[in-house]
Amino acid sequence: MGLDIRFPIGMMFTLLGLMLLATGLFTGGDAAMYKLSLGININLLWGAVLFIFGLLMWGTAYLGSKK
């Protein structure tokens, strides 16, 4: 049947989420960086969201390929 589009999309979002999570973790103590976002570590939050979305895409592609 070919390559399921969910595999590369899942990989892309998972890697992007990991990069944002790492950035959020390494810059978490820098209060000046997150002053404009009301002190919320946006990189950490959106990194987690993108990482979970990527894992869901990857998981659905894996389950879909088993049928």
**Domain count across the chain:** 1
Question: What 3-state class would DSSP assign to 41?
Answer: coil
Please indicate, yes or no, if residue 52 is contained in any of the structural domains. yes
> pLDDT digit string (tens) for 2-35?
778 999 999 999 999 999 999 999 987 777 888 8
pTM of the model: 0.84
The phi and psi torsions of 33 (rounded to 5 degrees) equal: -70, -35
What are the Cα distances from residue 55, in Å, to 4, 31, 34, 39?
15, 30, 27, 28
Please indicate, yes or no, if residue 4 is contained in any of the structural domains. no
Owning domain of residue 61: 17-65
DSSP type of residue 30 = -
Please indicate, yes or no, if residue 25 is contained in any of the structural domains. yes
**Single-letter amino acid code for the residue at 30:** D
Please indicate, yes or no, if residue 48 is contained in any of the structural domains. yes
Please indicate, yes or no, if residue 1 is contained in any of the structural domains. no
